[in-house]
Structure formats: structure tokens, C-alpha cells
Amino acid sequence: MIFTPFVVLSLVLSVVDARPRSRAASCDYPEATDDVTLDEPKEIAAGESFDGAYARYGRGIECGGQSEGGDSDAVFLLEDGASLSNVIIGADQNEGVHCKGSCTLTNVWFEAVCEDAMTFKQTSGTSYVKGGGAKGADDKVLQHNGGGTLIVDSFCVQDFGKLYRSCGNCDTMYERHVEFSNIIASSGKVLAGINSNYGDTAIFDMDTVTVDDVDSTCNTYKGNDSGDEPEELTENESNEYCQF
């Protein structure tokens, strides 16, 4: 190789640019290697990682078979900075994955969604969903109750209500942000619902988002902290909050 200034520059740049590459989403669910029924949520401690080696995890209950709908009904409960990868969540559960702080969820596949698939409670910071998918969600897949940012890359969602909702009426409300790239979505109502009165944003890399039979890319609501049903303000309209 002749080390012209150009070759040297591109070698330097390729070393410097160590960002994780995004990749196309896939809707091919992995085959379960095992079945695990948990009596209580599997907790992943702060800063720790758990690789499920594509076992199918559940709680051995039917959707709606528990009343609380809180952390104790989750399949996985992640402390701040924890990571979960390579798991299948079965239909026999209510609350999927709960992140109490920032978390990274890689290749988490939901065969069915009950209440919500993944709930994000971080007060600030950034959580990541990379790879994986969810199907059969009457309502929400990604529920953002805390603050900060959620980055979703390479995700497949099928038969759903909302892929993402920034909580419209939680007791404590935050400004929340979400970014989407490499999404395949089919048969659903809306990809993102956000509260424009709290300054939320949803940013879509539309060149990498594929939709089929989805009513709206992004809706804005007037959220509140009083528990009222939030009023919808805009539907499938690109604006300063819904950026698509």
C-alpha cells in the first residue's frame, strides 16, 4: 500500500470512528433454546449484564393474571446501567422488562405483549433498544415513564397500538426524547405518542423506517400530571416535536 496523505487520513478516520454501526431491522424471531418460568422478576444489578442465550422467559401466568402492573410483575428488572441481551419473552407474563435507570436492551424479542413490553423509568440519561422485536400489543410496546432519551435502532413491531408512548399522565412528568432508526412496523396505530406541552421530541430517520398499515408516524398530546386522559393535539403531522 502506498501511504499517500489520503490513505493515511482514511486509516486514521476509520480507527477514530468506533461508533456502533446501526443495522437493518429483522422480523425473524430466534428459536428458543430453553424455557424458563420465573416465580419473581429476574433482577439485573446496577452496571451488570445478563445474556439469556435465547431462552424463552415468562412468569407462568396469563396476561392480566396479576393485578399490580408494577415492578414485581416484570420478567426482568434492571437497575441503573444494567444490560439485557438475547432473550425471548413469552406470552405468559404481564409487564415484560422494567428499567429502573438507564439500560441497554439488545435482541429482546416479545412473542406477545400484555400491559407494555418495556418500561423506562430513568430520571435522566439515555437508554437503548438495539435489535429485537415485539408483536401482539393491544396498547403500548415502549413505555417511557421517566425522563431522558431512548434510542431505538433495528426493531421490528407487528400488530400493535403504539410503538412508543411518553407517559401522558404520570404523577411526575418529564421532558422526554426518543430517536428511531432501522424500524420495520406493520399493522399498528402509531409509532410514537409524545407530549408537546412538556417539550418532548420524537426524531425518525425516515430513510430507514418501513411501515405497512400504520395509521400515524407520530402524534402529539397535551400531557398532565393529574391522571387525566391527555388530549390529542396533532396526528401524523411533522412539526418541531414530531420530526419525520
Ligand X SMILES: *[C@@H]1O[C@H](CO)[C@@H](O)[C@H](O)[C@H]1NC(C)=O
Judged by the rule CB under 6 A, the positions of this chain that interact with ligand X are 197, 215-217, 222, 224, 226, 228, 230-231, 236
Rounded distance between C-alpha atoms, residue 133 and residue 171, angstroms: 29
Which of residues 212 and 231 has its CB atom nearest to ligand X in the complex? Answer: 231
Query: Min. distance of Cβ 230 from ligand X in angstroms?
Result: 5
Instruction: Determine the residue with CB nearest ligand X.
Output: 224
Q: Whole-number minimum distance, CB 217 to ligand X, in Å?
A: 5
Q: How far is the CB of 198 from ligand X (least distance, A)?
A: 9
Q: Which of 38, 146, 178 is nearest to 95 (CA)?
A: 38
Q: What is the nearest approach in angstroms of ligand X to the Cβ of residue 178?
A: 17
Contacts of 173 (CB under 8 A, 6+ apart): 167, 195, 198, 223, 224, 225
The nearer residue to ligand X, 74 or 209, going by C-beta atoms, is 209
Which CB sits closer to ligand X, 106 or 243? 243
Asked whether 55 and 23 are in contact (CB, 8 A), the reply is no
CA-CA-CA-CA torsion sign (88, 92, 95, 98):
negative
Side chain identity at residue 242, one-letter code: C
- The separation between CA 166 and the C-alpha centre of its own chain, rounded to angstroms, equals 11
Q: Tell me the closest approach of the beta carbon of residue 224 to ligand X, in angstroms.
A: 3
What is the tally of helices (H) and strands (E) in the chain?
1, 16
CB-wise, 35 or 225, nearer to ligand X?
225
Nearer to ligand X, 84 or 170 (CB): 170
